[in-house]
Chain A
Amino acid sequence: MRGSVYIVGLFITTKRVALYRYSTMRLSKVSFRYRRRERYVIEDVHARLLPGELVELTGVNGAGKSTLLRLLAGVARPTSGTITDRPPVVAFAPDRFPAEQPFTVAGYLRWMSRVRGGARWEPWTERLSMTHLLDVRLGELSKGSAHKVGLAQALMADAGLLILDEPFAGLDDSTRAVLPGILAEVTARGGIAVVSDHQGVLRDLPAIRHWSLSGAQLIVRPAPLSPGPAFSDSTSAVEVTVPAGEVEAFLGRMRDEGYPARAVAREEAT
């Protein structure tokens, strides 16, 4: 076996190849607990987030979804383990927008735009149907309207990693219908979107990966074996030569990422 190599066939869409301006974000042995001697909320999580990937995170109340999202966003540190290659620009929309702040909607978004270095927030107020709310004080907003402000401040960032904690909670039907398309745009330009979703609005999207938290463990459901309708219009076969001992691991990684990979031929090294 020593010295032999395998040629492995891969089907990679041309659209997908163009997405790799960000690197893959990795979680290695990530555990988290709030205090010593308390139980772990997240325990020994291994996962990867690929550029252009949309992840739906589910779990019962108190499973640790918001904690995992904060770890992903980089605002909480793992108790042990590492999170590497996080995209440089991260945006986060919390499950409940903090409306107890002394600004109008427009005033608040203008401040967040300055914090983001002049990001354009106006188009998002139109897409999220909230232009009529611009002069309303944050404290006077309904729950759904306040939630839209939280989404707008996150979406304006053009982030490489977009994290939305329960984005559909309290939203009106028209905005609820628009949001999956916005997420598709984020992933189409190579961004990673991670969404916790109790309502299951995203569940049937073809290109989505499903993560589930249960008993502090993250269950990563295998990605679909076919690239899916979004990528089926233009595919290429790629030949990769790898050492024989690494074939299974390599194929596993590629399948993990959604590519239908298989070993094609074995060659003896000369």
Chain B
Amino acid sequence: MIALTAFRVAAYVRSHRVYQALLPILAMLAIIYSVRAPQGEEAAALTASAVLIIPFLAWSVRSLLDTEPGRQRVISATGAGSPLREEVAGLLASLVTSLAFAALALGCGLLLGLSATPPPAVLAMAVALHGLAVLAGLALGALTSRPILPSPALSTMGLVSGYLAMLLVGSSPVYWLTVPVTAWMRAADADRLAAELPHLAAVSLGWCLVALVGYGLLRRTRP
């Protein structure tokens, strides 16, 4: 399965689809870090980076999973030993690339976007939020990939709608009905992130796991 994961990453990079995600991410980072965040606002700036990168990560995941043609999916599934292993290899490859993009975003934020080095606690929270962003992007991208939504138009609309739902529902009283990304930002702006992060992280993690399990179940009937 490791070999199949590496094969998927290699196909994604060699097909140059990786740039379809990398270039918009660089543009987004250039915009949000065009002005360095003042001292004391490091948590808010890094949280905004974690929230804003989610749709790009989802796009990257969808693009990586869609790089593999349908007939190659069958070859890969038989080669790996089962369709489940093929699915897991695809998710692992997406996770690896998403982690690289998230690390790039966090690194740019730390080097270019802040006026002062953040305290270790803020840094740890930023790492956790970028990790949650990776999982949210992974789940959203997988659920809008071609095996689940074969129509490119529906897939793109699904991805954008899913992210908008996170933003809108996350700002409402029923924020716990989705990955509450807006609640992340509100907590960071109000300097309550340390207190609220365990609860927000649990809700976020729960929805990501539900979405990934849903993806696995849907793939059982969509090989």
Give CA–CA (A226, B73) in the complex, Å.
41
Point out the residues of chain A lying under 8 angstroms from B15, CB to CB: 101-102
A101-B71 contact, Cβ under 8 Å, with A75-B223, A77-B221, A111-B7:
no
User: Of all chain B residues, which has the CB nearest A117?
Assistant: B3
Least CB distance from A189 to B in Å reads: 19
User: Of all chain A residues, which has the CB nearest B2?
Assistant: A114
Decide: A115 and B4 in contact? CB cutoff 8 A: yes
Point out the residues of chain B lying under 8 angstroms from A94, CB to CB: 71, 74-75
Question: Which one of B43-51, B77-85, B127-135, B189-197 is at the interface?
Answer: B77-85
Residues 69-119 (chain B) with a chain A CB within 8 angstroms: 69-83
A74 within 8 A of partner (CB): yes
Give CA–CA (A70, B4) in the complex, Å.
20
Give CA–CA (A101, B74) in the complex, Å.
14
Decide: B78 and A73 in contact? CB cutoff 8 A: yes
Q: Among A74, A103, A111, A115, point to the contact of B83 (Cβ < 8 A).
A: A74
A96 within 8 A of partner (CB): yes
Point out the residues of chain B lying under 8 angstroms from A150, CB to CB: 75
Give CA–CA (A112, B14) in the complex, Å.
16
Counting chain B residues whose Cβ lies within 8 A of the other chain, the interface size class is 20 to 34
Point out the residues of chain A lying under 8 angstroms from B11, CB to CB: 101-103
Give CA–CA (A217, B161) in the complex, Å.
43
User: Of all chain A residues, which has the CB nearest B70?
Assistant: A98
Point out the residues of chain A lying under 8 angstroms from B16, CB to CB: 102
Chain A 37-50 per-residue mask, 1 if CB under 8 angstroms from chain B, else 0:
00000000000000
Give CA–CA (A88, B221) in the complex, Å.
22
Q: Among A77, A88, A157, point to the contact of B79 (Cβ < 8 A).
A: A157
Point out the residues of chain A lying under 8 angstroms from B78, CB to CB: 73-75, 90-92, 157
Least CB distance from A115 to B in Å reads: 4
A114-B7 contact, Cβ under 8 Å, with A70-B223, A90-B78, A102-B14:
yes
Residues 62-106 (chain A) with a chain B CB within 8 angstroms: 70, 73-77, 88, 90-94, 96-98, 100-103
A153 within 8 A of partner (CB): yes
Residues 1-50 (chain B) with a chain A CB within 8 angstroms: 3-4, 6-7, 10-11, 14-16
Q: Among B74, B79, B81, B220, point to the contact of A70 (Cβ < 8 A).
A: B74
Point out the residues of chain B lying under 8 angstroms from A157, CB to CB: 78-79
9 contacts between A and B (CB under 8 A): A73-B77, A77-B221, A92-B78, A98-B71, A98-B75, A102-B14, A112-B75, A114-B7, A157-B79
